[in-house]
Amino acid sequence: MKTKSFSRRQFLATSALLPVALKLPIATVRPLKRAATGLDEGSVPAANIPVGLELYSVRDDLAKDPQATVRAVAAMGYQCVEFYAPYFEWTEAQTKDIRKLLDELGVRCYSTHNDSAYFAADKLSRAAEMNHLLGCKYMVLASAGREAYADGAGLDPWKAVAETLNHASEQLAPHGLKTGYHNHQFEFTAQNGTRPIEILAKNTKPSVMLQLDVGTCIEAGSDPVAWIRANPGRIRSLHLKEWSPEPGKGYTVLFGEGVAKWKEIFAAAESVGGAEYYLIEQEGSRFSELETAKKCLEAYRTKNV
């Protein structure tokens, strides 16, 4: 998710999630195809880390027909999904239907993405209820909000964001729900020698997940491996987004086509970071949304899956 586009954040304005013990399905993951990804064999993650799709990757299809889109994603082999903004507008009946579909397909929803408005007292209860129905574990704050990103805002607003996460954590803990934060480029861009993400890590409870968006971290000039190792046990999910510095490419490259050092990232995430699940995310590519999702999963996994 990009900080460069506020419309992206506004589009993400969503809800929260909820309890249910995290029972991770076993993924059968073999070495990546070197020809397809340019990665070394052996750079795939451990076999017990489920791989899912952040559904913003297929946002147009999802808006037209959520159930058909989820079915298509499951048919590709994705083991989990992450819903974002629009799901908060579903009725209880719609939410139950989606959960029924997920169960039918054997797909989990471990987390959802939420705008700061949905951490407020008047929205938190509804968010928790909906996420309980979806079977989620984490409520991820998808962006800090305009005040924190404003020019000249400094680092103080980030302390307020940390307080919001801690407060929500206290409110939702009795329901088995944990909070999390998802970074953009801005969080990894130093202000007066300090990166906002460091403020969040230092001032939030250890139970607050620091969901790492790999691509935006790299574009900001930071090292995702170093960040993971500096925050053991807190990088419980990652957005496997690629990035290329080549002109005109940026986030449009598929998984394995950019500069991310996936072998090192996976090793750190699983040995130190506490990774529980991975989520592929694409801002867009030269292919259609669903074809992009399929190609990325094929590159992530093996030609034999």
Token look-up 């989606």 returns: 98
What pLDDT digit, counting tens, does each position of 50-71 carry? 999 999 999 999 999 999 999 9
Q: Classify the C-alpha dihedral 112-222-204-160 as positive or negative.
A: negative
5-40 pLDDT, tens digit per residue, is 333 333 333 333 323 333 333 333 333 332 333 334
pTM: 0.85
pLDDT for position 33: 32
Which tokens in the block code for residue 111? 């987390």
Would the pLDDT of 231 be above 60? yes
Give the distance, in angstroms, between the CA of residue 145 and the centroid of all CA atoms in the same chain: 17
The closest alpha carbon to 139, from 175, 193, 104, belongs to 175
The continuous run of DSSP H or E covering 100 comes out as: helix 92-105
For residue 211 the two structure tokens come to 């969901």
49 close to 235: Cβ distance less than 8 angstroms: no
Q: What is the pLDDT of residues 70-109, one digit of tens each?
A: 999 999 999 999 999 889 999 999 999 999 999 999 999 9
Pick the closest to residue 118 from 131, 108, 109 (CA basis): 131
**Cα–Cα distance measured from residue 256 to residue 234, given in angstroms and rounded to the nearest whole number:** 25
Residue 59 has what pLDDT?
Answer: 97
Rounded to 5°, the CA angle 197-259-292 comes to: 95
Q: How far is 162 from 202, CA to CA, in rounded Å?
A: 9
Q: What is the mean pLDDT of residues 147-154?
A: 89
